[in-house]
Structure formats: structure tokens, C-alpha cells
Amino acid sequence: MLRVVVQRLLLLPLLLAVFSILVFALVQAPPGDFLTSYIATLAASGSSVDQAQVEALKVQFGLDQPFAVQYVRWMQNLLRGDLGLSLEYQRPNAELIGEYLVLTVVLALFSFVFTWLLAIPAGIYSATHPRSPLDYVLTVLNYIGVATPNFMLALILMWGAFSWFGISVTGLFSPEYIQAPWSLARVVDLLRHIWVPMIVIGIAGTARLTRIMRANLLDELNKPYVITARAKGLSEWRLVLKYPVRVAINPLVSTIGWYLPQLFSGSLIVATVMNLPNIGPLLLRALVGQDMYLAGSILMIYAFLTVVGTLLSDIFLAWVDPRIRMEQ
């Protein structure tokens, strides 16, 4: 077990090096560069820039060096743990990402808990009461949940909330708390706003998880060990929870590590549509504006967390299910 973990950790730098090349290639893939998209943005809001101004902007943004030089500089800094500077924000990337991190993690945790608290019981109920009216209701809801893109759901909710109640459900805070320092009142304000995005982000996962849980559990319920346990007189729900649920939940546990990068990424489209102050819109902005150092930094952290998350999943799985062996 320990050997596997150590091996995996040793592989990490190599994987990240490969990722860094991929990330930079992808960030650079769209035509033009930061300056082109910067000037295009200015023009699309009414101003136009002349040659002298373009020359000045190049110097002001440090873009007068050839691309290769800029890339090598970025890599060197990255090796020293320095994420560099965001071109658009003109602030250090580490500082920016740190600023957005808290709310990103809080929102992701909320929707994670929402998903699991709802999906596991619903899945168990559906499996133990197959073809019951409630099972059918849950099944239909699940299909809708899986099939509806969550940004669509967000738009519908926003529209509904506005046309019936005249409120806009965007953002995570009331205006007076947006810039305020953390306080009890601010936390309460956050709790008042967070449930809508929590549901929107969590709903598709909930539906998917419920379906998987139901299917897995149905497979287990007919196995001989269940019949044996029942014959021995175990009460029905203790039986179900103690044996088949633990087996059925395995595939889900194995995906738990994948939540680590998700915790960090923020739900990109939903967060943009609902105007949530998390890392999703920050990344989208950086990609669209070709703010290569910021986009690169976020994607590198994302890659790092994915690798670590997968490793954690494996460790976790081995712990939950003693049948799993890690030797090669």
C-alpha cells in the first residue's frame, strides 16, 4: 500500500510536466494573443486604438518579448512555486486565486453534501421498493435531472424567481456584504443566497448518483448473502445498510477523489450565468481574454488536484473495501 502511494507521488512531477505543456499549448491555441483580445475588447466597447498606443500597451503589459521567452519565464517561476502575474488583473495570480478560493470551496462543499444526502437515501429507497409509485416518481425526476444541463436550470430558476417574486437570485451576497469582512451577519447572508446555486450545481450529480446507487443495490439485493442474512433474522433495514449498501456504494466511493478538482474549479457555466464569485468565471475570463498566465495557473492547479484526487480515491476505496488489493 505504502509503496503504491510513494510510486504514485514520484510519478506526479512527470505527469505535471506533461500537463504544463498541454495546458500552455491549449491556452495558446486560439488565434491572436492577449493584446489582440484586449484591443478587441476595447473596440467592442466603443474605443479604437492607434499604433502608438499599441506599442505603449505592449511595454506596459510586458508583451514586447517573443512568445518562447514568455513561456520559459513562466515555467521557471512555476518551478519555484511562483504562479506569476495575471495580465488582465495586473495582480499576482496566487493572490487572485486565493481570494476566490474560499467561496469556491464553500459552494462546492455545500453542493457535494446536498448531492450525497439526497442521492444515497433516494437510491436505497428506489432499490428496496422497485416499481413502487415513489420509485417511478424518483426515476422520472432523475431522468429530468440528468438530461437538463444545469446552466439551463439556472436560467429557468432565475427567470422564475424574477417573474414571480420580482427578485434576482444571482450572486452569493447582498450588495452590502459583497466587500464586507467576514462576520456572523455575512455568513447568514451567504446562507440565504447559497441554496439556489447549491441546488443547481448539485441536481445533475444527485440524479446520476441516485441512478447508480439504485442499480448497484438492485444487483446486490438478490445475492445469496442477503438471503442468508435475512434467514438469520436480521431486521430489514439493518441488513440492507450493513451489507449490500456497503458493497453497492463502492463504485461511488471510488469517484469521491474526483470531487477534489471540482471543489477548486467552481462550476464554470453555472457560475458565469448566476454571477457567482468563484474560480469558474475567473478561468473562463482568463481563457477568453487569453490571459495565459492566469489560465495556465488555474489549469495547472486543477491538474495537480486531479492527480492527487485519483490517488486519494484509491486509498479511500482500499479502506472502505478490504477486498481490494493494491499490490501489482
Partner 1 sequence: MRGRLDRGALVGIVVLVLALGTSIPSPQAMAQTRTYKEAPMLAEQVRAGKLPPVAQRLPEDPMVVPTVESVGQYGGVWRRGFLGPGDFNNYHRVVYDALVRYSPDGTKVDMKLASSVQPSRDFTTWTVRLRKGAKWSDGSPFTADDIMFWYNDILLNKDVTPALPGWMRNRDGSAVVVRKVDDITVQWVYKEANTTFLMELANKDSGDRQFAAFLPSRYLKRFHAAYADKAQLDRMVADAKFKTWVELLAARNHPPENPERPTMAAWVPATRISDQLFVLRRNPYYVGVDSAGNQLPYIDTIQFKFFADAQALNLAAIAGQLDQQDRHINIVNYPVLKEREAKDKKYRVILWPTFGGTDASVILNQTYAKDPELGRLFQNKDFRIALSYAINRNEIKESTFLGLGEPRQPVAAPWHPYFPGDAVAKKFTEFRADEANRMLDAIGLTRKDAEGFRLFPGTTRRITIEISVVPAFGPWPDIAQLVAKNWQAVGIRTIVQVRDRALHFQMRQSNDLQSEIWNNDTSGFPFTGVPKYDPRSLLYGTLTTGPLWKAWYDSGGKEGAEPPAEVKRLVELIDTGKSANPQQQVRIAKELFQIWVDNMMEIGIIGLTPMVQGVVVLNPRLRNVPPTLGNDWPLRTPGNARPEQWFYR
Separation of alpha carbons 308 and 164, rounded Å: 45
Residues 147-166, mask of contacts with partner 1 (x by CB under 8 A): -----------x---x---x
Separation of alpha carbons 25 and 296, rounded Å: 10
Q: Is 115 in the site for partner 1 (CB under 8 A)?
A: no
Q: Which is nearer to partner 1, 115 or 290 (CB)?
A: 290
* C-alpha cell belonging to residue 128: 428496496
* Shortest Cβ 19–partner 1 spacing (Å): 22
**Residues 261 and 299: beta-carbon distance below 8 Å:** no
* C-alpha cell belonging to residue 198: 447549491
Using CA of residue 6, residue 11, residue 15, residue 20, what is the dihedral sign? positive
Taking CB under 8 A as the criterion, the residue among 6, 18, 47, 219 binding partner 1 is 47
* C-alpha cell belonging to residue 313: 480515491
Q: Is 276 in the site for partner 1 (CB under 8 A)?
A: yes
Q: Is 190 in the site for partner 1 (CB under 8 A)?
A: no
Separation of alpha carbons 211 and 138, rounded Å: 9
* Shortest Cβ 42–partner 1 spacing (Å): 6
Q: Which is nearer to partner 1, 30 or 121 (CB)?
A: 30
Residues 94-113, mask of contacts with partner 1 (x by CB under 8 A): --x-----------------
Q: Is 28 in the site for partner 1 (CB under 8 A)?
A: no
Q: Which residues contact 306 (CB under 8 A, 6 or more apart)?
A: 258, 260, 261
Taking CB under 8 A as the criterion, the residue among 52, 68, 184, 231 binding partner 1 is 52
Q: Is 66 in the site for partner 1 (CB under 8 A)?
A: no
Separation of alpha carbons 174 and 190, rounded Å: 8
Separation of alpha carbons 103 and 264, rounded Å: 10
- Binding stretches for partner 1 (CB under 8 A): 30-32, 36-62, 73, 82, 84-85, 88-93, 96, 158, 162, 166-168, 170, 175, 178-179, 271-277, 281, 284-285, 289-290
